[in-house]
Chain A
């Protein structure tokens, strides 16, 4: 509970004082210390200030300031007592008022919870640190912008409870990108007790820039000098202790991959929290004469304005005002007296710009870098013997103008080879396991609808999809290797040119490649793109990236019709997706988002060998998700499809077939001929039954639309059900293509190859398979993707737009492919 929420006459015990350094210090000096009792003398609603008594003195505090003091009150105490009271009835008496001592113990306990925020540049290892400390398994990748949301974790150390929040990486705290705003908002609203500023030791100058801004904000901070192993490996010398004293924040070397230094880091956080750290102090970065004069002028005006909460640093506000920070501007605008503040600001900005001949914001940036390089000159010594690092050598080839692209294609090729052929072995094992289970049920159950449901619906439907788990895991292994090693950023780099043709920049490539895994996180990852235009285009074309849910369809059809050229076809499908994305992006850019883009620099992190463990975690998570999906949506869909295909049981045609069969049985024929005729009639009966089932009717209704693409009604239905999730296409095919009645144990791919329609023609040809795969690639992204797009774009319009454009595009592409293919087959065949 916050102190401002206590009513007149209430009593509370202080837990902690939040807020920035100087403000806290003043409040604490007034007597607001942990464990001390406060009594509210008068707290009238809407009235400022509030009067309190603490340590025998009367003090008044502004409401906004009191909101930054956490207390426990009798009400809190009661709440806490309620919980145990409910399960042990005997202790529940009339609620007892807490004694002062009890409140004090609670306050002391609560005061031992420290809220920590992790702030730092992208890719400096924040999430690795977070995972190590809290035991979580958040996504880590060797490129910028992996984390796009705040993640919270809780753990204990030395009797303290830490609530740590992992934030997205940012280069600065100006208000330009969504992440920057996000981090700033978090710092302002959540008021973490201590900020851990994670900096990448192999890139000090750039990382310290953010540090200077945190210093301006006057937050209590501990610096984690992460990737210390790399600093040492390069033989650079860094006197971090001197730098810590210089900037007034403790610096602890850490290696968050191995956990080195993390315990000490949090011990240091405790010290800072308890105000026992010898190093911590608030410093002012000296921005040089002209800027400092401007700051002090604006600050004077701000000081005179009574409406600005004391918890905000006036110096920080002045700096931000002079920088022309939009966010702060709009905050000031809400205050009375904003006019005079802006007048003073404008006067000083003009003066500074006149004096320095550069715009004010640049002047501040330069001054910060000046401060950093000055500080580093005294403490940092770069190893002068520059050996070519392995990163440079690898990059020589991988980002080469000519070689880079073939290498990328080669990598993709290897990825698909492995996915298809390596995945083939475990796939066979699972297949035979499914078969064994199927045969067991078939052999041990009495005939009846439940048996049919189990064998054809559930085992057929779910079993048909589950066999692709190994393929998906292998694909994921490659994608996580790409992410963790740093190759992803290179791929983005060499794709930059193509991306520019699309009207996007290289950075958009990362969400696109992530889309190969799953479109939903990929769409969320597009948050790191600064320009709204590029972000929207990236989101809209992302569904064209073939996600792993579509892989089962490909593996099934390619395994059936193109086993010799598997990787080639797979690669071709993925490339078609990319090409279509390029074309669509250009169209969108031209007609929907034709504004100029902000320029952007793609950075290349050094290569890092991914640990086996992190890849295993990725794959394990994926396997869990896949199995979960099997037990959920795929299972349900398979059951529904079976029901729709099984009923209605009786039809006129069916009876007619039965009569014919009976007739033939009574006829005088030789037994071989008889058996053959009956078999043919049984087949026709089954086909007829399926066509007249509910699902058959649905399929035949929509089939005319899809017939020009070469699809029969079963494929049409599969595409319809596949809207729930693309794997359902496979389970539907598996339930519908039942194959010969007497040979139950056929693999699905065999059944597809042999299925004939009533005229006795094959329903599947290689050309139809290609047409179908393309359609599956392009049409209707799954529901989860749609809602991700709706959420990220903030409007239903775009979700509907994506549905429409993908379906239309899928139809057009499949139509062209099937019809031209047919034309050539007719010409040469």
Chain B
């Protein structure tokens, strides 16, 4: 049973995380940054430096 509760929590956390990311994508200051929160590439670092 507790495993069901655990996966529920994980599921909610993931949904929250995605919602947060999408929210950030639209509300983040429209700096010229193209990555929309994706951390896949070199430009992420620059984003951090600018912030």
Contact = CB atoms under 8 A, between A and B. Distances in A.
A51 interface: no
B17 A782 contact: no
A725 interface: yes
Contact of B4 (A151, A449, A625, A783): A449
Given A453-B10, A636-B18, A784-B34, A518 B49 contact: no
B3 interface: yes
A787 B32 CA distance: 10
Contacts of A633: 38-40
Nearest to A724: B38
A643 interface: yes
B36 A450 contact: no
Interface string B1-22: 0111011001100100110000
B41 A787 contact: no
B51 interface: no
B11 A791 contact: no
Nearest to A790: B34
A715 to B, nearest CB: 23
Given A446-B3, A449-B7, A639 B39 contact: no
Contacts of B46: 149, 151
Interface in A624-661: 625, 628-629, 632-633, 636, 639-640, 643
A46 to B, nearest CB: 31
Interface string B37-51: 011111111100100
B40 A549 contact: yes
A451 B44 contact: no
Contact of A784 (B6, B17, B40, B45): B40
A729 B1 CA distance: 32
A152 interface: yes
A636 B41 contact: no
Interface string A400-416: 00000000000000000
B32 A791 contact: yes
B6 A450 contact: yes
Nearest to A788: B34
Nearest to B11: A643
A623 to B, nearest CB: 12
A453 B9 CA distance: 12
A728 to B, nearest CB: 11
B2 to A, nearest CB: 8
A453 B7 contact: yes
Contacts of B4: 448-450
Nearest to A629: B40
A300 interface: no
B49 A152 contact: yes
B38 to A, nearest CB: 4
B3 A782 contact: no
Contacts, number: 82
A563 interface: no
A625 B41 contact: yes
Contact of B3 (A448, A524, A632): A448
Given A520-B42, A520-B43, A639-B10, A787 B3 contact: no
Interface in A751-800: 782-784, 787-788, 790-792
Nearest to A643: B11
B38 A791 contact: no
A783 B39 CA distance: 11
A621 B3 contact: no
A636 B34 CA distance: 21
A559 to B, nearest CB: 23
Nearest to B17: A636
Contacts of B33: 791
A628 B34 contact: no
Contacts of A549: 40
A501 interface: no
A521 interface: yes
Contact of A783 (B11, B38, B43): B38
Given A448-B4, A451-B3, A139 B35 contact: no
A632 B35 contact: no
A787 B44 contact: no
A788 B35 CA distance: 7
Given A520-B42, A784-B40, A639 B14 contact: yes
Contacts of B18: 636
Contact of A725 (B10, B17, B32, B40): B40
Best-surrounded residue of B2, B7, B33, B45 (most CB of chain A within 10 A):
B7
B40 A787 contact: no
Contact of B38 (A151, A449, A782): A782
A784 B32 contact: no
A410 B6 CA distance: 53
Contacts of A625: 39-42, 44
A126 B34 CA distance: 25
Nearest to A450: B3
Contact of A636 (B7, B14, B35, B45): B14
20 contacts: A151-B46, A152-B49, A449-B7, A450-B2, A518-B40, A520-B34, A524-B34, A621-B45, A628-B39, A629-B39, A632-B39, A640-B14, A725-B38, A725-B40, A782-B38, A783-B36, A784-B35, A787-B36, A788-B35, A791-B32
Given A518-B42, A521-B41, A787-B36, 18 more contacts: A151-B46, A449-B3, A453-B7, A520-B43, A524-B34, A625-B41, A625-B42, A628-B44, A639-B10, A639-B11, A639-B14, A643-B14, A725-B38, A782-B38, A783-B38, A787-B34, A788-B35, A791-B32
Q: 4 smallest A-B Cβ distances: which pairs?
A: A448-B3, A450-B3, A788-B34, A784-B38
